[in-house]
Amino acid sequence: MAPAQILKELDIDFMSKRYIAAVLSAVVLLICLASMLFRGFEFGLDFTGGTVIELGYQEPVEIAEVTGTLADNGFPDAIVQYFGSSTDILIRLPPVEEGEAASAQRSDEVLRILGEAAAGDVELRRVEFVGPQVGEQLREQGGLAVLFALIGILIYVAVRFEWRFALGAVAALVHDVLFTLGIFSIFLIEFDLTVLAAVLAVIGYSLNDTIVIFDRIRENFRKMRKGSVIEICNRSINQTLSRTIITSGTTLLVLLALYFLGGAAIEGFSLALIIGVLVGTYSTIYIATAMAVWLGISKQDLLPTPVVKEGEVVDDRP
């Protein structure tokens, strides 16, 4: 028997664990919110402004050695890290008020200092500059993008299904976003525009899985006239479980390859998507569906309205 067929024949009582899942999610989200409020984020150049300099060495170099050399020559605020290997480093300098021209001079000075310290075995790979005002605008617009996406989804699901499902879907998406952002805050992982793009992608991915389950719940409400709401929800989740596992599994394989083999440039992007796919699969069941159950979804809410002709008697018993 094929694995997909075995998964379709499962009868797991997911909804019986919804209270435990709610408590677990509440605790985790409180930790994430506390970290975001009091610890903040390690914003990247896109949001803070400043200069990024990528250098390549002929031989492996120690981060502490580069940091010390820069500090001794007038760059105590420089942040140095490896960029893919021990011969490639990334240097971040805070923004300056003088603008791009001054940043170009600072990058040339950094190259000169490190070139002298390494006997000329340093190659300039890349220099990027973002002004502080641009970084602030990007941060504000990124937050608005997430907010507008959630509002649009709320309207879409309310029109397509029912308002209880809409609130459940948005609650799941907010849960996924806060969890993903919380992980980046707790572990102080760099948060830049690529991570923000991944968060928006997580919203779309999680919604897709939620819509599939909601569609099956609506279909089963019309077929299983004698089942309770809990039974119908459990049956719908089990019926779509094979699709969820196969879709999430293949997506995770690609994202894991990107994370481990794609280099430092897309590390944050792929990590945010990995977190989002995992937590999105969980929230579809235990946040979106459970929320609709708690709000009192019933068969009458999803059954089509019968067209009554004059003189007909309609039997509306379930």
pLDDT (0 to 100) of residue 312:
55
The DSSP bridge partners found for residue 279 are none
Name the DSSP class of 93: E
For 127, phi then psi, to 5°, come to -135, 130
pLDDT (0 to 100) of residue 23:
95
Using 50, 70 and 90 to split pLDDT, how confident is the model at 59?
confident
- Average pLDDT over the chain, rounded to whole? 83
What are the angstrom distances between the C-alpha of 282 and each of 8, 33, 148?
A: 18, 19, 23
Name the DSSP class of 283: H
Using 50, 70 and 90 to split pLDDT, how confident is the model at 176?
very high
Using 50, 70 and 90 to split pLDDT, how confident is the model at 318?
very low
Name the DSSP class of 129: E
Question: How many CA atoms lie within 13 Å of 251's alpha carbon, on the beta-carbon side?
Answer: 22
Structure tokens at 48: 């803070």
d(CA 172, CA 283): 5
d(CA 313, CA 318): 15
Arithmetic mean of pLDDT, 180-208:
89
Cβ-contact 83, 66 below 8 angstroms: no
172's CB contacts (< 8 A; 6+ apart) are: 206, 210, 280, 283, 284, 287, 288, 291
pTM of the model: 0.79
250: amino acid identity, one letter: T
pLDDT (0 to 100) of residue 135:
63
The DSSP bridge partners found for residue 191 are 43
Q: Is the pLDDT of residue 307 over 60?
A: no
Residue extents of the structural domains in the chain:
3-42+135-302, 50-130
The helix-helix angle for 63-72 and 100-117 (nearest 10°) equals 120
For the stretch 260-301, pLDDT in tens is 888 777 889 999 999 999 999 999 999 999 998 898 887 776
For the stretch 25-47, pLDDT in tens is 999 999 999 999 999 898 877 77
Q: Is the pLDDT of residue 107 over 70?
A: yes
Q: What is the full DSSP assignment across 15-84?
A: GGGHHHHHHHHHHHHHHHHHHHHHT--EE-HHHH-EEEEEEEESS---HHHHHHHHHHTT-TT-EEEESS
Arithmetic mean of pLDDT, 74-86:
83
Percent of the chain's residues with pLDDT above 70: 86
What's the topology of domain 3-42+135-302?
Answer: Multidrug efflux transporter AcrB transmembrane fold (1.20.1640)
160's CB contacts (< 8 A; 6+ apart) are: 211
From 88-102, 260-274, 304-318, the region with the lowest mean pLDDT: 304-318
pLDDT (0 to 100) of residue 311:
53
What's the topology of domain 50-130?
Answer: Alpha-Beta Plaits (3.30.70)
d(CA 102, CA 113): 16
